[in-house]
Amino acid sequence: MNTIKYFGHVSIYIKTNNISIVTDPWFHERGAFQSSWFQFPDNTEIDFSWVNDLDYVCLSHEHQDHYDVNFLKTLNKKTKIITANFTNKRFLKSLRDNLNNEIIEVDHKDKFLLGDVEYIPMVQVPLGVQDSAMIFKVEDKVVVNFNDMKPSHKDLEWINGNFNVTYLFKQFSGASWYPLMYDYSEKKMHELCKDKRLFKYQVIVDVIQKLNPKVYVPCAGPPVFLNSDVFEVNLLEENTFPTQADIYKFFEKKHPEIAKKTAVLMPEDSISSDMDIEGITKKNLKEECFIDKRGYLLKYKDRRNDVINKTLNETFNDDEYKYLAFAQRGSQVTIQIIKK
């Protein structure tokens, strides 16, 4: 009996009779990027009884919300690390510097057997950062995990020519501040962020229409910001960090045929092609994180205040630094390290 579960953010758990796999595990309570990003919904207290027997971890790229070094250091040494064979070896070097596990690189579009599961990476090289999609064939089911990758039309055509996609995982929410530099009014900021969000949604629509998966799982975001200075960014009327509930409402209104195959999942939810997608989604949309986001995040913030303060003290206690500044103009926040 094969098991496929969603573990939060963009982490997928695959278990067959022979092996177990986890993709891009981001579970540590420190979050990422000096504890400025945290998982939404919180997935740090799921059942981790599978960890000691884990056979493979498949990593897509080097960003900390996909490459959680603190968690990876807790793995059994027998667990193998699988990643795409990137031209730039910066990511490989970091893996070797931080982990004692065996690391296996797989070439672009090559099939590599992880026990009885086929793994195929698809490499993208945008400006500055290498990324990769991960395709898994589990018996007759095909999982396509794009995480943050932006597939080209040729990429989508190649997938269509080789696979019938069962489960599609793809980032739907922004992963960076937008715009980065500006002098805009609140109204202009609202318009720009709305345009950016809707453009992101349209990309998702195009990919879903092209690949026609049985199930689409919105994932790889949004991060949430629990430092007091930037907490309200989570709750702006319009920003580039929409939630799973937001994109589902968009689909319901604009693309009801896509809404029917969109599964809003909570960490540890199981996935199957014959599951009651609408029932699971409607149930999960009643979770506190979606219906009372402020209340949920305030409690989450209380759980992480000590972690945030500890991380900032460890990161910026050097005499070279004076403080970490949060500058806000309109609805945009800039984080800046001020040197003495």
One-character DSSP codes across 192-205? HHHHHHHHHHHHHH
Task: State pLDDT tens for residues 180-210.
Answer: 767 888 899 889 999 999 999 999 999 999 9
Higher pLDDT residue, 28 or 274?
28
pLDDT value for 327: 44
Strand 20-23 and strand 3-6: the pairing is unpaired
pLDDT value for 329: 42
For residues 330 and 148, what is the distance between their CA atoms, to the nearest angstrom?
28
pLDDT of residue 321 exceeding 70, the answer is no
For residues 280 and 198, what is the distance between their CA atoms, to the nearest angstrom?
25
Give bridge partners of residue 32 from the DSSP assignment.
Answer: 37
Phi-psi region of 5 (alpha: psi -120 to 50; beta: other; left: phi over 0): beta
In percent, the amount of the chain with pLDDT more than 90 equals 80
Task: State pLDDT tens for residues 37-76.
Answer: 999 999 999 999 999 999 999 999 999 999 999 999 999 9
Confidence class for position 153, pLDDT limits 50, 70, 90: very high
Mean pLDDT of the chain: 91
The answer to whether 67 and 313 are in contact (CB under 8 A) is no
pLDDT value for 325: 46
The answer to whether 170 and 220 are in contact (CB under 8 A) is yes
For residues 304 and 298, what is the distance between their CA atoms, to the nearest angstrom?
10
pLDDT value for 314: 83
- Neighbour order of strands in the sheet with 117-124: 112-114, 117-124, 131-138, 141-145, 167-171, 215-219
pLDDT value for 127: 60
Mean pLDDT of 269-288: 96
For residues 263 and 273, what is the distance between their CA atoms, to the nearest angstrom?
11
The answer to whether 151 and 174 are in contact (CB under 8 A) is no
Q: What is the pTM of this model?
A: 0.92
pLDDT value for 331: 43
Q: Give all domains of the chain, ordered by start, each with its CATH number.
A: 3-339 (3.60.15.10)
Confidence class for position 319, pLDDT limits 50, 70, 90: low
Helical spans, DSSP H, in the chain = 69-72, 90-98, 153-162, 186-211, 244-254, 256-259, 277-284, 288-291, 293-315
- Candidate from 90-99, 298-307, 329-338 with smallest mean pLDDT: 329-338
Mean pLDDT of 206-221: 97
Mean pLDDT of 275-302: 98
- Per DSSP, the three-state class of 14 is strand
